[in-house]
Structure 1
Amino acid sequence: MLKTKTNDDKVDTLLTKGLVPIIDLAHCGTEETPVRSVVNRVGLQLQKCLNEKGLCLLVNHGISDEKLKTAWDHLDDFVDLPSDVREHYIRTGDDNHGYVRPGVERFNGKTPELRHAFNICTLNAKNLPEEPLPGFAEHISSLAQDFKALSRFILQALAVSLDIPQSFFLEKHSHMLSGDHDNESTLRLLYYPPIIEDTDEKNDFIKGSCIYSYQRCLSDKPDFRPETNPRDEINELDGKDELNGTTERQLPNGEMIRCGAHTDYGTFTLLAQDSEGGLEVKLPGSEKWQRVGHLPGAILINCGEILSIWTRERYPALPHRVVIPEQQHIRSRGRHSIAFFCHPDNLTMISPNDLPNNEIGTDTVDKKPRKKSFKAAKEKVYNAYQLIQKRFRETYGHHQTSH
């Protein structure tokens, strides 16, 4: 049914203000033989976008909306599986591959995150839910290869942007999707449940035809609702059962969170979204959170900590979070996204002294105070695996080895 647009539907975003750079990847060629002129053009555009904003949007990237939508459908089907089946694919220990329940991750170090996630680090079919979901492995593997190919193009353009050999980053990312024992690059399927509010019950969460809340559960499962009121304090999930995963958490100040503030760990991240869903960033040099906005069909790229270390923060890692949107028409629908986290091979040593000609152009860049994490990385050189494992321990805490 058509709905008349009102002022409540308007969302003030960086995109609506024209503050998000857009790069057109049309005619970029193939992964094996990219068009050199396009690589050079994109490299120059990335240099400006990532230095000034820390992010940009990619259009005409070659990954179809239909392919993304089918992947989200597969994730929905996985979330609907019986809990004992989903448990078979749970993320465990130091391995990043597998399913992550709502409430397990804490990107800000303390608050349970409000989403379903399935991490794909290897395309080995035995590690994907192909038996309960025929077609899952084939489709997700094909999509992962698409993101890998796009990442390889971006890696070449990044090298051009830094005036270093075009193959420099490719050689350090040669094992993407070979498994997290070789490389931590990850395709991550994400689903954030919607929020349904009415006059009788607040903070109800819906998936399909079943509504869950702390006050009622239309389910034949045991009642795992907390004894204390979740509106008064944060109640952590124990990981045993989460009412089919569609629970949310409210913070003491009345706010709820889907993904806490953090910077990504790797080289860069590619993000596809199905709607405007509350993604906010702090642009370089700013302490203000700003909504990014949604451009249908576009893929967002933002810098990670490793690229920031390599470039001496010329390309800063962008702080970002996902909040519960204040607009009712947005918060009352679920949000899907797919992120591809591009990481170097595990044994790659990460040092700001690695990049040849690293200081080229730095006199034109505004000098900003260096973060403690950057100083620490400069003092001691880690390999890529050590860096990400340190961040995993911070994110998962006691849940890291509890499953």
Structure 2
Amino acid sequence: MLKTKANDDKVDTLLTKGLVPIIDLAHCGTEEAPVRSVVNRVGHQLQKCLSEKGLCLLVNHGISDEKLKTAWDHLDDFVDLPNDVRELYIRTGDDNHGYVRPGVERFDGKTPELRHAFNICTLNATNLPEEPLPGFAEHISSLAQDFKALSRFILQALAVSLDIPQSFFLEKHSHMLSGDHDNESTLRLLYYPPIIEDTDDKNDFVKGSCIYSYQRCLSDQPDFRPESNPRDEINELDGNEENKNTTVRQLPNGEMIRCGAHTDYGTFTLLAQDSEGGLEVKLPGSEKWQRVGHLPGAILINCGEILSIWTKERYPALPHRVVIPEQQHIRSRGRHSIAFFCHPDNLTMISPNDLPNTEAGTDTVDKKPRKKSFKAAKEKVYNAYQLIQKRFRETYGQQNSH
């Protein structure tokens, strides 16, 4: 029993191993007048972080914890609204804006995902639940502008990292959150319900000696309670005891997960989270799922597919997922996060030959075998809107109209 508790309290993560790069954005200036020396310094740091790891953590980014926590409170209040009120804000059709119920999204194409999500693609108050939740629209709009400003700084630093004109990416992302359907950038509020002991026979299931319930999702359909705990098996990829730790796991097909394995679709993603919560990644060149860990106050940035195409995979899109943690004290807390998906303007053509003057720096990368996805992108050029709609269809399938 003592051994079980000790294992339960220890979470071995990339962060605890010192394997997650950290970039300090202090003194970066304003959106209108960023400090050139800081842009250059962050650009060089991003070049190393994103090419080697596909992600890094940003600190002193200027978005307060209190502002993030208030946004999560607003999402909690929305989830607590009656079903008929929430249905007024449901995501429908090709428009990514709106509420997404648990069990609708399937990033791996088959496994229903346990979370509530509210996508904000426009800051028009008529499309936000301001009437049932006074203050929601104003606060979320302000937070969205903060993420947009941070993204604009990152876009300039990314250009520096690739030794191209500093305004190159800014010009291709000029309509973020404009509300006129010219850009698919999205602020996404996420709530993953806790999994806790419960004695209500109608709402629980038993796995071994543990009884779990999915709290706020009990009224939602379909019934997506798994038949077994998806954290039961350890992925013994290297066949030795050293790798049997909490950062390397496998998830059998057909079971419940908080967020299925995928790569993000756009240029990059900024992620704020309130706890460790089960976020796992596959680092470039590795097939191991490894737990990232949580640094309070930090925002994680990871590359998306479009940036990977643009850079000829110098900056790889990072596979990631959110699993149900095996540690009781983690899974019983639930998890909140906020993701800002930075996308190019819809009519921006996405081609691996778009970036000027980058060939000299890609010799070593070009010697590596090209993946099928890269070859396909090279053969046929899409605009940003076509690419994201293709990925939405894969994620939502026939449930897109619900």
In 2: Cα distance, 1:205 partner to 1:136 partner: 36
* Aligned counterpart, 1:160: 160
My pick for the range that moved more, 345-354 or 224-233, is 224-233
| Runs of 5+ consecutive residues of structure 1 not aligned to the other structure | none
CA-based RMSD of the aligned residues comes to 7.7
In 2: Cα distance, 1:99 partner to 1:239 partner: 43
In 2: Cα distance, 1:95 partner to 1:364 partner: 40
Once the 2 structures are TM-superposed, how far is the Cα of residue 333 of structure 1 from its aligned partner?
Answer: 1.1
| Counterparts in 2 of 1:63 and 1:250: CA distance versus 1, 3 Å | same
In 2: Cα distance, 1:76 partner to 1:345 partner: 31
| Counterparts in 2 of 1:317 and 1:249: CA distance versus 1, 3 Å | closer
Once the 2 structures are TM-superposed, how far is the Cα of residue 372 of structure 1 from its aligned partner?
Answer: 1.5
| Counterparts in 2 of 1:241 and 1:149: CA distance versus 1, 3 Å | farther
Pairs aligned (count): 402
| Counterparts in 2 of 1:23 and 1:248: CA distance versus 1, 3 Å | closer
In 1: Cα distance, 2:31 partner to 2:176 partner: 14
| Counterparts in 2 of 1:103 and 1:357: CA distance versus 1, 3 Å | same
| Counterparts in 2 of 1:175 and 1:102: CA distance versus 1, 3 Å | same
Once the 2 structures are TM-superposed, how far is the Cα of residue 3 of structure 1 from its aligned partner?
Answer: 16
In the alignment, is the contact (CA less than 8 A) between 2:195 and 2:214 conserved in 1? Answer: no
| Counterparts in 2 of 1:240 and 1:47: CA distance versus 1, 3 Å | closer
| Counterparts in 2 of 1:335 and 1:217: CA distance versus 1, 3 Å | closer
Q: TM-score, normalised by structure 2?
A: 0.87
In 2: Cα distance, 1:182 partner to 1:146 partner: 20
Once the 2 structures are TM-superposed, how far is the Cα of residue 249 of structure 1 from its aligned partner?
Answer: 18
Identity of aligned residues (%): 94
Once the 2 structures are TM-superposed, how far is the Cα of residue 300 of structure 1 from its aligned partner?
Answer: 0.2
Q: State the SS of the aligned residue for 1:5.
A: helix
My pick for the range that moved more, 258-267 or 171-180, is 171-180
In 2: Cα distance, 1:273 partner to 1:380 partner: 36
Once the 2 structures are TM-superposed, how far is the Cα of residue 359 of structure 1 from its aligned partner?
Answer: 1.2
| Counterparts in 2 of 1:71 and 1:210: CA distance versus 1, 3 Å | farther
In 2: Cα distance, 1:312 partner to 1:258 partner: 31
* Aligned counterpart, 1:215: 215
Q: State the SS of the aligned residue for 1:213.
A: strand
In the alignment, is the contact (CA less than 8 A) between 2:302 and 2:318 conserved in 1? Answer: yes
Once the 2 structures are TM-superposed, how far is the Cα of residue 263 of structure 1 from its aligned partner?
Answer: 0.2
In 2: Cα distance, 1:81 partner to 1:235 partner: 40
Once the 2 structures are TM-superposed, how far is the Cα of residue 10 of structure 1 from its aligned partner?
Answer: 1.4
C-alpha offsets along residues 298-344 of structure 1, whole Å, 9 cap, x if unaligned?
00000000000000000000000000001111011110000000000
* Aligned counterpart, 2:248: 248
In 2: Cα distance, 1:152 partner to 1:364 partner: 29
| Counterparts in 2 of 1:235 and 1:347: CA distance versus 1, 3 Å | farther
In the alignment, is the contact (CA less than 8 A) between 1:194 and 1:205 conserved in 2? Answer: no
Once the 2 structures are TM-superposed, how far is the Cα of residue 8 of structure 1 from its aligned partner?
Answer: 2.4
C-alpha offsets along residues 72-91 of structure 1, whole Å, 9 cap, x if unaligned?
00000000000000000000
In the alignment, is the contact (CA less than 8 A) between 2:155 and 2:169 conserved in 1? Answer: yes
In the alignment, is the contact (CA less than 8 A) between 2:235 and 2:244 conserved in 1? Answer: no
In 1: Cα distance, 2:294 partner to 2:354 partner: 36
Once the 2 structures are TM-superposed, how far is the Cα of residue 182 of structure 1 from its aligned partner?
Answer: 0.7
In the alignment, is the contact (CA less than 8 A) between 1:104 and 1:239 conserved in 2? Answer: no
Q: State the SS of the aligned residue for 1:88.
A: helix
| Counterparts in 2 of 1:171 and 1:136: CA distance versus 1, 3 Å | same
In 2: Cα distance, 1:237 partner to 1:125 partner: 50
| Counterparts in 2 of 1:330 and 1:323: CA distance versus 1, 3 Å | same
C-alpha offsets along residues 361-382 of structure 1, whole Å, 9 cap, x if unaligned?
1134484332221111110000
* Aligned counterpart, 2:401: 402
In 1: Cα distance, 2:309 partner to 2:229 partner: 43
My pick for the range that moved more, 190-199 or 161-170, is 190-199
In 2: Cα distance, 1:140 partner to 1:36 partner: 30
My pick for the range that moved more, 152-161 or 255-264, is 255-264
My pick for the range that moved more, 12-21 or 230-239, is 230-239
In the alignment, is the contact (CA less than 8 A) between 1:258 and 1:322 conserved in 2? Answer: yes
Runs of 4+ in 1 over 6 A off after TM superposition: 1-5, 199-203, 205-212, 214-254
Once the 2 structures are TM-superposed, how far is the Cα of residue 149 of structure 1 from its aligned partner?
Answer: 0.2
In 1: Cα distance, 2:239 partner to 2:112 partner: 11
| Counterparts in 2 of 1:38 and 1:337: CA distance versus 1, 3 Å | same
In the alignment, is the contact (CA less than 8 A) between 2:13 and 2:246 conserved in 1? Answer: no
| Counterparts in 2 of 1:250 and 1:190: CA distance versus 1, 3 Å | farther
C-alpha offsets along residues 207-241 of structure 1, whole Å, 9 cap, x if unaligned?
99999959999989999999999999999999999
| Counterparts in 2 of 1:18 and 1:225: CA distance versus 1, 3 Å | closer
* Aligned counterpart, 1:40: 40
Q: State the SS of the aligned residue for 1:360.
A: helix
* Aligned counterpart, 1:279: 279
| Counterparts in 2 of 1:76 and 1:3: CA distance versus 1, 3 Å | farther
C-alpha offsets along residues 120-166 of structure 1, whole Å, 9 cap, x if unaligned?
00000000000000000000000000000000000000000000000
| Counterparts in 2 of 1:205 and 1:349: CA distance versus 1, 3 Å | farther
In 1: Cα distance, 2:301 partner to 2:122 partner: 22
* Aligned counterpart, 1:266: 266
Q: State the SS of the aligned residue for 1:338.
A: strand
In 2: Cα distance, 1:313 partner to 1:243 partner: 28
Q: State the SS of the aligned residue for 1:62.
A: coil
In the alignment, is the contact (CA less than 8 A) between 1:207 and 1:246 conserved in 2? Answer: no
| Counterparts in 2 of 1:217 and 1:395: CA distance versus 1, 3 Å | closer
In the alignment, is the contact (CA less than 8 A) between 1:157 and 1:166 conserved in 2? Answer: yes
Once the 2 structures are TM-superposed, how far is the Cα of residue 256 of structure 1 from its aligned partner?
Answer: 3.3
In 1: Cα distance, 2:239 partner to 2:6 partner: 41
Q: State the SS of the aligned residue for 1:108.
A: coil
In 2: Cα distance, 1:33 partner to 1:207 partner: 56
| Counterparts in 2 of 1:37 and 1:226: CA distance versus 1, 3 Å | closer
| Counterparts in 2 of 1:223 and 1:66: CA distance versus 1, 3 Å | closer
| Counterparts in 2 of 1:85 and 1:8: CA distance versus 1, 3 Å | same
